[in-house]
Amino acid sequence: MRSLWLNTLTKQSLYRLSTKRYSTNVEPKEPVVKTKSIPGPKSIELKKQLDSVQATGTIQFFADYEKSIGNYIYDVDGNILLDVYTQISSVPLGYNHPRLYKVFNNEQNLKTLINRPALGVFPGKEWPEKLHSVLLNIAPKGLNKITTMMCGSCSNENAYKSIFIWYQNKLRGNAPLTEQEKNSCMINIPPGAPKLSILSFKGAFHGRTLGALSTTHSKYIHKLDVPSFDWPIASFPEYRYPLDENVAHNKKEDEKCLSEVQDLIQQYASKNPVAGIVVEPIQSEGGDNEASPEFFRSLQAICKKNGIALLIDEVQTGGGSTGKFWAHEHFELESPPDVVTFSKKLQLGGYFHNDDFIPNEPYRIFNTWMGDPGKVLLLEEVVKVIQEEKLLANVDVAGKVLKNGLLSLEKEFPHILNSTRGRGTFLAVNCTNTKVRDQIIGALKLHGIQTGGCGEISIRFRPALIFKEYHANIVLDRFRKVLQGI
Amino acid sequence: MRSLWLNTLTKQSLYRLSTKRYSTNVEPKEPVVKTKSIPGPKSIELKKQLDSVQATGTIQFFADYEKSIGNYIYDVDGNILLDVYTQISSVPLGYNHPRLYKVFNNEQNLKTLINRPALGVFPGKEWPEKLHSVLLNIAPKGLNKITTMMCGSCSNENAYKSIFIWYQNKLRGNAPLTEQEKNSCMINIPPGAPKLSILSFKGAFHGRTLGALSTTHSKYIHKLDVPSFDWPIASFPEYRYPLDENVAHNKKEDEKCLSEVQDLIQQYASKNPVAGIVVEPIQSEGGDNEASPEFFRSLQAICKKNGIALLIDEVQTGGGSTGKFWAHEHFELESPPDVVTFSKKLQLGGYFHNDDFIPNEPYRIFNTWMGDPGKVLLLEEVVKVIQEEKLLANVDVAGKVLKNGLLSLEKEFPHILNSTRGRGTFLAVNCTNTKVRDQIIGALKLHGIQTGGCGEISIRFRPALIFKEYHANIVLDRFRKVLQGI
């Protein structure tokens, strides 16, 4: 019954074709901008077509993903932009990477795409091996369990649920469930649906579904008009840069925020006890706000002292662009965080955790798909390429060039730029104000560089892991031209 | 720059190979059960391997998706089950459908898979056309806007947000946002984060993220230990069967529940005003609980009268298995529902709506991926096959055979079975109690039939749309044998 659809001969000729093809399909030498404005006329026409079907206010342009290659995104008007924003930081290996192209050049993988299982009930025979070889291979140190999901919001939502279940289980001890617990949760009230909370930080972004959104505080437009849980929100450090010239101020920031965390835990103990704290290693959407390794180590200590879980949200930071696969590796925590969520560059979503966060009973953390094995196949290849091509080392090299260049630009244009910061190629710089920031992002695009904003006044750089030193130099060169024109 | 990876010759030979292959790759004549119990020894071994990585309490067996074909799922122990549960109702065309296999036999489609865009910012050039030709092609009558998502929970969560935004916008009129609104929503409090609610029904299932879960009330294990919004919950009709012998009772049920809805709207007006009502056309996870077309028409009238939105959740019912593409078409509503959510058989998630539910400002309903164009390519082919092969008519024919057969079994085994119900092949039957129900589901599996439970005492049938009369007869024959053995 086994299909012979792709016989060996055909497989080999396909392989030759694809290898041959990709040896000639290379990046352009530099960006090309053909239209006076972006979106150009063809993008504007497509936007009109889309407008009759859905909201289009967020669309920057329409891309040609058949032509896009490596670090360059092609639009429908013939513009070729060096992409250092990469679909909101979600493209690990650039466009049309030949190794990804080959993933579905394979009968078994193709069948995985068209026979999507309910992974929690009828997983395919290869699932345990894939989880071991792909996901445990990249697991943060000390976390040996993985729950797969599909996107960042779902990952955080389900991680929160795991934390609530863990917390209540601790309170309950080994006591059996009461009828009151079973019945009250069905109508959304305590004790079955307890008044618990997740503590988050001002400026944080953890997603936009209603639980995740209650911990998101980066922009009002994300939250306006949506009901929210009354959960505690602490201040996040607001550092001054460069770090080595602002040690005292920044240390004070750490202390102030940590003391606020401790106060909020006490304050909420009687109304919505804190079961967990969620934090990004670098607040991304909120403005690339950093906190020190010491801050994170102290935060973990507060969690341990209060018996609450520490969830590190690596949806944007995970996958290598800080120079380590997980950004929290930079913090040298005393013990592993309790839960680490991921998505974006990792193709699917999910969270790593330890045994404590596996519920006692089945079906407590569950949904129809529980992730997507087709995306795991892509991730498998992504991870192989990262390891074989030593892309984390590449990130360090290219990141240093980009960061040093930004620091130089800061010095050249102190009235426009300041506060260059970040790790690896995960970098940002502040502008004088929002207007200037938006002006620069627009001008950079017309100079062939696709960046993105974050927070109120920051430009963020999120190139793919294949971004090299010479790409950094192109970015810096174009950036200088833009700044000269302001 | 355009890749020639699949040249014409290769494309054609691939096509011939695949066509040839599938002409011989046919369903078995009947189920085959080789092991004494399911999961068999190989599944149990794989489960052990998976156990070291994640929770496995919900796993029934490990499948071989390379071998599975049409209505038959193959497990790793050589068992071949006639699958009338289809991955919790999420497989439209059965396993390894040749038309789906061909979707990624295409350079452009393959590139769609490996260049996943942030659809809300940089959609591909083909996106507007795909939305028109694929999604608007199946849009519920009267709804001309589509917001794409990835799964059922996300679809409901974002549909709720659209409803809240719409509701507040009505209240606000054209007044500009106040600073108080902007600032308060950032810290989760009114007026920016208003106290609004979505009314749901007892027995409902709308997903498991925290917003969706506040409207889910089918089983305590889904909800226990998770904080919840205080949102109103009305009773859902509890019908007696057969419908034509219980008209008075069922009508009374409708009236009781509708009056409860009206009361709850008043009751919550002063604390958490109801902005929308969410309802399934058939409560699926909750036990295949039906309500009459009159019930739904009256519910819509209540919504209109109170200025609140009606959201019909077609995540499980949508896609054809009730004999119509959308189950709510059976209700002949006076006007379209305001929002219709979908996922599962439709491969991706999302919701249809009208212009009123497009927010005024960009980025209010948004996330990184906003769906998955690779899944739209699959949906495109699914819809073509449904239309070309007239699968909705097939569902009617096969469904009648299955339903009449279940009614006969009810008469043969009245001490075990009752309350056969449903539309098309979307059918269910009740058992005397939970223990008997679970016993039957287990025995059916050992007789080669994969079904699923729902509610406390029901067995649900969710075959693929390619399920034929002769498959129904196999199911009924095996079911009779199981009942004889009880």
Which pLDDT score, from 0 to 100, does residue B21 have?
A: 43
Which pLDDT score, from 0 to 100, does residue A34 have?
A: 98
Residue B246 domain-assigned (yes or no)? yes
Residue of B130, B145, B344, B345 with catalytic role: B344
Q: Which residues of A touch B185 (CB under 8 A)?
A: 220, 223-226, 228
Q: Which residues of B touch A55 (CB under 8 A)?
A: 147, 358-359, 362, 365
Query: What average pLDDT does the segment B378-403 reach?
Result: 98
Across the interface, whether the CB atoms of B62 and A125 are under 8 A apart is answered: yes
Residue of B61, B164, B205, B236 with catalytic role: B205
Give the H/E segment covering residue B248.
helix B247-268
- Residue B429 is encoded by which pair of tokens? 């039957």
pLDDT in tens, chain A (486 residues): 333 333 333 444 443 444 444 434 799 999 999 999 999 999 999 999 999 999 999 999 999 999 999 999 999 999 999 999 999 999 999 999 999 999 998 889 999 999 999 999 999 999 999 999 999 999 999 999 999 999 999 999 999 999 999 999 999 998 999 999 999 999 999 999 999 999 999 999 999 999 999 999 999 999 999 999 999 999 999 999 999 999 999 999 999 999 999 999 999 999 999 999 999 999 999 999 999 999 999 999 999 999 999 999 999 999 999 999 999 999 999 999 999 999 999 999 999 999 999 998 999 999 999 999 999 999 999 999 999 999 999 999 999 999 999 999 999 999 999 999 999 999 999 999 999 999 999 999 999 999 999 999 999 999 999 999 999 999 999 999 999 998
Instruction: Please state, in angstroms and rounded to a whole number, the distance separating the CA atoms of residues B1 and A67.
Output: 6
Domain boundary among A343, A368, A387: A387
A240 and A129 belong to one structural domain:
yes
Residue B445 domain-assigned (yes or no)? no
A146 and A286 belong to one structural domain:
yes
CB atoms within 10 A of CB B51: 14
Phi, psi of B431 (to 5 degrees): -115, 170
Which pLDDT score, from 0 to 100, does residue A298 have?
A: 98
Across the interface, whether the CB atoms of A220 and B14 are under 8 A apart is answered: no
Which pLDDT score, from 0 to 100, does residue B319 have?
A: 98
ipTM, two decimals, is 0.94
Give the H/E segment covering residue A149.
strand A145-149
Instruction: Please state, in angstroms and rounded to a whole number, the distance separating the CA atoms of residues B3 and A24.
Output: 9
A382 and A413 belong to one structural domain:
no
pLDDT tens digit sequence for B415-454: 999 999 999 999 999 999 999 999 999 999 999 999 999 9
pLDDT tens digit sequence for B147-160: 999 999 999 999 99
Q: Touching check for A15 and chain B: CB below 8 Å? A: no
Q: How far is A484 from chain B (nearest CA, A)?
A: 28
Give the H/E segment covering residue B82.
strand B80-83
In the predicted model, is pLDDT for residue B12 greater than 90?
no
Instruction: Please state, in angstroms and rounded to a whole number, the distance separating the CA atoms of residues B257 and B251.
Output: 10
Of A290, A262, A292, nearest to A274 by C-alpha is: A262
Across the interface, whether the CB atoms of B107 and A193 are under 8 A apart is answered: no
Query: What average pLDDT does the segment B168-172 reach?
Result: 96
**Is A19 designated active site?**
no
Which pLDDT score, from 0 to 100, does residue A17 have?
A: 40
Domain boundary among A342, A357, A387: A387
Which pLDDT score, from 0 to 100, does residue B174 have?
A: 80
Helix (H, G, I), strand (E, B) or coil at B459: strand
Which pLDDT score, from 0 to 100, does residue A25 have?
A: 73
Residue B418 domain-assigned (yes or no)? no
CB nearest B58 (choices: A121, A212, A228)? A121
CATH number, domain of A396, equals: 3.90.1150.10
Across the interface, whether the CB atoms of B188 and A228 are under 8 A apart is answered: yes
Residue A351 domain-assigned (yes or no)? yes
| Domains held by chain A: number | 2
Q: How far is B389 from chain A (nearest CA, A)?
A: 19
Residues 247-306 of A with CB under 8 A from B: 272
Across the interface, whether the CB atoms of B111 and A66 are under 8 A apart is answered: yes
CB nearest B50 (choices: A13, A131, A227)? A131
* DSSP state string for B249-313: HHHHHHHHHHHHHHHHHHHHTTTS-EEEEEE-SEETTTT-EE--HHHHHHHHHHHHHHT-EEEEE
In the predicted model, is pLDDT for residue B45 greater than 80?
yes
Which residues span the domain enclosing B308? Answer: 117-387
A84 and A190 belong to one structural domain:
no
- Which conformational region is residue A118 in: left (phi greater than 0), alpha (psi within -120 to 50 degrees), or beta? beta
A426 and A454 belong to one structural domain:
yes
How far lies A313's CA from each of A170, A293, B423, in Å? 23, 15, 44
Which pLDDT score, from 0 to 100, does residue A14 have?
A: 42
Residue of A164, A205, A236, A413 with catalytic role: A205
Q: Touching check for A384 and chain B: CB below 8 Å? A: no
Residue of B18, B54, B180 to mutate for A, most A C-beta atoms under 10 A: B54
Helix (H, G, I), strand (E, B) or coil at A370: coil
Q: Touching check for B353 and chain A: CB below 8 Å? A: no
Residue A33 domain-assigned (yes or no)? no
Q: Are A77 and A41 in contact (CB under 8 A)?
A: yes
Which pLDDT score, from 0 to 100, does residue A126 have?
A: 97
**Is B205 designated active site?**
yes
- Residue B471 is encoded by which pair of tokens? 């498959």
Angle at B34 between CA B28 and CA B38, to 5 degrees: 105
A279 and A187 belong to one structural domain:
yes
Instruction: Please state, in angstroms and rounded to a whole number, the distance separating the CA atoms of residues A398 and A464.
Output: 11
Amino acid, res. A203:
G
Across the interface, whether the CB atoms of A114 and B193 are under 8 A apart is answered: no
Residue B62 domain-assigned (yes or no)? no
In the predicted model, is pLDDT for residue B18 greater than 60?
no
Which pLDDT score, from 0 to 100, does residue B106 have?
A: 87
Q: Are A272 and A305 in contact (CB under 8 A)?
A: no
Residue of B210, B345, B451 to mutate for A, most A C-beta atoms under 10 A: B210
Half-sphere exposure of residue A55, counting CA atoms within 13 Å on the CB side?
24
Residues belonging to chain A: 486
CB nearest A125 (choices: B64, B124, B146)? B64
Q: At what angle do helices B107-114 and A373-388 cross, to 10 degrees?
A: 70
Q: Which residues contact A416 (CB under 8 A, 6 or more apart)?
A: A431, A432, A436, A440, A483, A486
Domain boundary among A367, A387, A407: A387
Q: Are A462 and A91 in contact (CB under 8 A)?
A: no
Residue of B23, B133, B224 to mutate for A, most A C-beta atoms under 10 A: B224
Residue of A10, A56, A178, A368 with catalytic role: A368
Residues 100-139 of A with CB under 8 A from B: 100-101, 103-104, 107-108, 110-118, 120-125, 127-129, 131-132, 135-136
Residues 47-106 of B with CB under 8 A from A: 49-50, 52-55, 57-69, 73-74, 76, 87-88, 90-91, 95-97, 100-101, 103-104
Query: What average pLDDT does the segment B179-187 reach?
Result: 98
Q: Which residue has the tokens 């729902």?
A: B454
Q: Which residues of A touch B219 (CB under 8 A)?
A: 363
Which pLDDT score, from 0 to 100, does residue B4 have?
A: 36
Q: Is B328 exposed, middle or buried (0-12, 13-18, 19+ CB in 10 A)?
A: buried
**Is A344 designated active site?**
yes
Alpha helical stretches, state H, B90-136: 98-101, 107-114, 127-130
Of B229, B196, B163, B276, nearest to A229 by C-alpha is: B229
A327 and A423 belong to one structural domain:
no
A219 and A366 belong to one structural domain:
yes
Residue A20 domain-assigned (yes or no)? no
Of B334, B286, B341, B345, nearest to B311 by C-alpha is: B341
Residue B66 domain-assigned (yes or no)? no
**Is A263 designated active site?**
no
What burial letters (b/e) apply to A368-395, b meaning 16+ CB within 10 Å? bbbbbbbbbbbbbbbbebbeeeebbebb
A371 and A411 belong to one structural domain:
no
Across the interface, whether the CB atoms of B223 and A101 are under 8 A apart is answered: no
pLDDT tens digit sequence for B56-82: 999 999 999 999 999 999 999 999 999
In the predicted model, is pLDDT for residue B6 greater than 70?
no
Q: Which residues of A touch B54 (CB under 8 A)?
A: 131, 145-148, 358
Q: Are B39 and B88 in contact (CB under 8 A)?
A: no
Across the interface, whether the CB atoms of B359 and A52 are under 8 A apart is answered: no
Across the interface, whether the CB atoms of A53 and B10 are under 8 A apart is answered: no
Residues 196-215 of B with CB under 8 A from A: 196-197, 202, 207-212, 214
CATH number, domain of B148, equals: 3.40.640.10
